Amino acid sequence: MKIVSNSSLNCFCTCARKYKIRYIDKIETEKSESLIFGDIFGKCINYILSDTERVDLKVELLIKDYDLKNEFFVAKVKQLPKIAKLWIDFFSINRYTYNFEYKIYGKIFGFDYSGYIDALEDDLSLDCISIVENKTISKFDEEDILQKLPYDKQLCLYIVDVTTKKRENDNRPIKINYRNFIKPMIKPLKNESPSIFGHRFYETIDTDILTYFNEISKPVIFFRIDEFLDEFKESCTLLEKQLELNMFPKNSSACNIYNKCEYFDICYKKG
Ligand code: SF4
Per-residue pLDDT of 205-222, as tens digits, reads: 877 676 777 778 888 888
AA letter at 180: N
| CATH code matching the domain that covers 31-223, chosen among 3.90.320, 3.30.2400, 2.60.120, 3.40.50 | 3.90.320
Q: Is the CB of 261 under 6 A from ligand 1?
A: yes
**Distance from C-alpha of 206 to C-alpha of 161, rounded to nearest angstrom:** 37
> What's residue 188's pLDDT?
92
> What's residue 141's pLDDT?
84
Q: Which residue has better confidence, 47 or 73? A: 73
Rounded distance from Cα 13 to ligand 1 centre (Å) = 12
> What's residue 56's pLDDT?
64
> What's residue 198's pLDDT?
92
Q: Is the CB of 264 under 6 A from ligand 1?
A: yes
**Distance from C-alpha of 210 to C-alpha of 201, rounded to nearest angstrom:** 15
* CA of 250, closest atom in ligand 1: 3
Rounded distance from Cα 158 to ligand 1 centre (Å) = 29
Among protein residues, the one whose CA lies closest to atom 1 of ligand 1: 264
* CA of 264, closest atom in ligand 1: 1
* pTM summary value: 0.85
Rounded distance from Cα 229 to ligand 1 centre (Å) = 27
Mutate to test the pocket of ligand 1, among 13, 29, 261 (most ligand atoms within 8 A of CB): 261
Cross-strand pairs, 120: 99, 131
> What's residue 34's pLDDT?
85
Mean pLDDT of the chain: 85
Q: Is the CB of 43 under 6 A from ligand 1?
A: no
Going by the DSSP 8-state scheme, the letter that residue 120 receives in this structure is E
Q: Average pLDDT for residues 132-159, to the nearest whole number?
A: 88
Q: Which residue has better confidence, 52 or 91? A: 91
Q: Is the CB of 263 under 6 A from ligand 1?
A: yes
Among protein residues, the one whose CA lies closest to atom 7 of ligand 1: 255
What does the CA dihedral 75, 77, 80, 83 come to, rounded to 10 degrees? Answer: 60
Q: Is the CB of 15 under 6 A from ligand 1?
A: yes
CA-nearest of 232, 210, 39, 42 to 132 is 42
Cross-strand pairs, 178: 133, 216
**Distance from C-alpha of 36 to C-alpha of 74, rounded to nearest angstrom:** 11
Q: Which helix (H) or strand (E) holds 170?
A: none
Give the side-chain half-sphere CA count within 13 A for 175: 14
pLDDT reading at 53 higher than 60:
no
Q: Which residue has better confidence, 74 or 30? A: 74
Q: Average pLDDT for residues 29-45, to the nearest whole number?
A: 85
